[in-house]
A and B are shown apart, each in its own frame.
Chain A
Amino acid sequence: MKFDELFRLIHFCKTIQKEGTDPFDLDVSMFLETLNRYYTKWKSLDDLLIDAEAIAELAKIIELQGKWIKDRASSFYIDPVLLELKLKMLDAQQLATAFLKSWHPLISVDRITPQRLKEGLDYWNALLPLSDRKEDFPLPATVDMTFNIEDLIALNILSTREFDESIQAVLTELEKRGRTEYHEFIYDATFEASIIKAYLTSYLVSEGKALLEINPLEDKVFIAPSTSGDVKGRTPGRSIPISLSYEDWLRWRERKKQGQGQNGD
């Protein structure tokens, strides 16, 4: 019962902060008197926490009151009631004119470039017919949960052997290629295959079988197979988000095609 009054005051402080109403609506001295009245009755830690929260909220309101006074004292202050009245009196034409006279519009041009058109065309060419992409638009799942590898293995969707073999194939390729730029390594013949390879590569990094090197100056990420020394001196890892985009993959494929064409010439 004793908390009701304090909760009400805390809530009132939060409403003022959230809605930007007049912070002087709160009577600070009455607030402090209320806190003082309860002060001797506090017994538990929870009581003290409520008391601390109330003080913290009150401090925020006093800060807002200071800001409010500063705003009112500045030349920028406008009486909200007067402005509201004026806004109601003006017609749309007058309001729009006032806006246009104080408007410095942003200048930006929208234009489709030949390169962007080509990207669009490549995307169109690579896009499967809607009937083949039904799995891209699945019906809403009735169970909201995620599966990890163990769940998939338990459900016989994936076998441990199959998964291990895939991981091993990626590791063998990495050992053969040595230190390579990350995207060069994971990009494959199709975008789907690239995503799967990135997923499997993340396992190699998590298990310490591969190392990621980030070069912030060149904005590049390299991947290399771990040596036994790397594995021993391994410190707890951190997550490194690396973006993979379809457009970037298309550019990579284009570069690769051009490279092959030049080699063939």
Chain B
Amino acid sequence: MEGEEEARTRTERRLKKAAQVLFFRRHRAPGVKGWELKKALGDDYLEVLGVLDSVLDRLGMEVKRISEEGEERGEGGGEGEEQAARDRFMIVLKEPVIEKASGERIDDVAMLAATLAYIISKQGKAPRKAVEEFLGDKFPKQRVFFALDRYIRQGYLGEDENVLYIGWRTRAEVDRKSLVDLILSS
């Protein structure tokens, strides 16, 4: 009986620790790497995260796992331990939010939405110049330039040799199919 009680207390303690590590920001970029979670929670950290995920589910949140290349991992990951250690874990809202959930200006959100939709339609990557020209149709060039740099810093976009692509954070936060469908049906 006592052993069972101890095991439950231990699980609860690790669950609390997992929630703290994932909720509180530790680095400039949000999210926590698998190896950090392993260090904090132990070798079976993926199981602990599974339990946390089911607890968060009742609160409308979920634990999301994204590879460094931006690829989303399904339930259980299905990948090796090494891959899991390199992946990034974070907590996201399960349902989309309608109310305001960020301090971004509406212009900036609109620009981000247009940029993502534009890049998605170009099979996931587009020359930065083309994106700047496209956004420049509605916003001053200077603002477009700084906005794109900010989206790159925030992880919504990636840039490689002047080519923009969908960043890891967009893959974690944005339902891309829904975004495009909503834009087409507006």
Contacts and interface: CB of A to CB of B under 8 A. Distances in A.
B182 A101 contact: yes
Interface in A68-121: 68, 71, 76, 78-80, 82-84, 86-88, 90-111
A102 B96 contact: yes
A104 B183 contact: no
B97 interface: yes
B175 A102 contact: yes
Interface string B173-184: 111111110111
Contacts of B109: 92, 95-96, 99-100
Contacts of B176: 102
Interface residues of A, number: 38
B184 A82 contact: yes
A18 interface: yes
B173 A105 contact: yes
Interface string B84-117: 0000001111111110011000110110111011
A119 to B, nearest CB: 13
A104 B96 contact: yes
Most chain A beta-carbon contacts within 10 A, residue among B24, B106, B125, B127: B106
Given A105-B173, A107-B91, A109-B24, A19 B183 contact: no
Contacts of B91: 106-108
A86 B186 contact: yes
B178 to A, nearest CB: 4
Most chain A beta-carbon contacts within 10 A, residue among B101, B123, B180: B123
A264 interface: no
A82 B172 CA distance: 26
A68 to B, nearest CB: 7
A82 B180 CA distance: 11
Contact of B113 (A20, A76, A95, A109): A95
B137 interface: yes
B123 A101 contact: no
Given A87-B183, A95-B113, A102-B175, A78 B31 contact: no
A102 B23 CA distance: 22
A90 B114 CA distance: 9
Contacts of B24: 108-111
A95 B183 contact: yes
Given A99-B179, A100-B96, A100-B97, A87 B117 contact: yes
A151 B53 CA distance: 59
Most chain A beta-carbon contacts within 10 A, residue among B90, B120, B121, B126: B121
Given A87-B114, A96-B113, A103 B174 contact: yes
B122 interface: yes
B30 A106 contact: yes
A106 B176 CA distance: 15
Interface in A102-151: 102-111
A110 B26 CA distance: 8
B23 A80 contact: no
28 contacts: A19-B126, A20-B123, A79-B121, A83-B183, A83-B184, A86-B183, A87-B134, A87-B183, A90-B183, A90-B186, A93-B106, A95-B110, A95-B183, A96-B109, A96-B113, A99-B116, A100-B109, A101-B96, A101-B182, A103-B175, A104-B96, A104-B97, A104-B175, A105-B97, A106-B31, A106-B64, A106-B92, A108-B31
Interface of B: 23-25, 30-31, 39, 61, 64, 90-98, 101-102, 106-107, 109-110, 112-114, 116-118, 120-127, 134, 137-138, 161, 163, 169, 172-180, 182-184, 186
